[in-house]
Amino acid sequence: MRMRWIKNKKIQIMLGIFVMLVTVATIPTILSYLTSRDSIVNPFKLGTVDVEIKEIFPVPTEINPWEGQTWTKNVSIENKGTQKSLIRVAIVPRWENIDGTPFAGDTSLLILTLQNMNTTPGWVDGKDGYYYYTEKVITGGVTLPVLATVALDSEKIDGNIQKRYANKKLIVDVQAEAVHAYQPAYESVWSTMAKSGSTTDLMLEALIATP
């Protein structure tokens, strides 16, 4: 099984009191599933599975995060490979100290506003840490955005919070993953979801079965 790393991209916003980082990254994506291992069992044409995160993230001119300022963060995924693919994303907030070491901060202070949820096309929450696109994505196709805005919950912010989080980094990682829309590939690569019998699993299997 071969894998390919996609370049990471990082956007940094200076917030004065602390630093907020919004990063996008793709985890290794599977290429030519099983063909290098057993082309007799899986005699389909070699192809690639590759995704690219596309985003619209205007840099704000005025920054006052403690008052609940909202940042636009439209994130969608493009299929850069040669196969129709299933796509999922994970959105993971975390805190760091200014030197990049982990900080045990409260990620519930962050408000992530999702969009195009529970629609077709659109996204569904797989309840496994991922959001799954509700359609197969063709070569060159782009999903609808999944993330809309990022903000701090001003109702939870007081002087003690501001003091504790001074000179900290708030990071939002967006990780995208794609797999060839082919049953054995789905079952092997996304094994936790596959055969779970969940609503999302049934939706994905129905997509695979559709030409």
Give yes or no for residue 123 having a pLDDT over 80: yes
Residue-averaged pLDDT of the chain: 75
> What single-letter DSSP state applies at residue 66?
G
Counting every residue written for the chain, the total comes to 211
Higher pLDDT, 25 or 1: 25
Q: Is 205 helix (H, G, I), strand (E, B) or coil?
A: helix
Q: What is the DSSP string of 165-194?
A: TTTEEEEEEEEEEEEES-HHHHHHHTTTTT
> What single-letter DSSP state applies at residue 107?
G
pLDDT band at 11 (very low <50, low <70, confident <90, very high): very low
Strands 102-103 and 29-31: unpaired
Query: Pick from 141, 119, 126: which is nearest to 197 by CA?
Result: 126
Q: Is the peptide bond before 65 cis (omega within 30 degrees of 0)?
A: no
Question: Exposed, middle or buried, 77 (CB in 10 Å: 0-12/13-18/19+)?
Answer: buried
Give yes or no for residue 23 having a pLDDT over 60: no
Give yes or no for residue 4 having a pLDDT over 80: no
Q: What is the pLDDT of residue 32?
A: 38
Q: What is the pLDDT of residues 150-201, one digit of tens each?
A: 888 888 888 888 888 888 878 888 888 888 899 999 998 899 999 899 999 9
Higher pLDDT, 55 or 158: 158
Count of structural domains, the chain: 1
Q: Is 54 helix (H, G, I), strand (E, B) or coil?
A: strand
Residue 120 is encoded by which pair of tokens?
Answer: 């077709």
The sign of the dihedral angle between the CA atoms of 61, 67, 70, 71 is: positive
Host domain of residue 7: 2-209
Residue 28 is encoded by which pair of tokens?
Answer: 């290794």
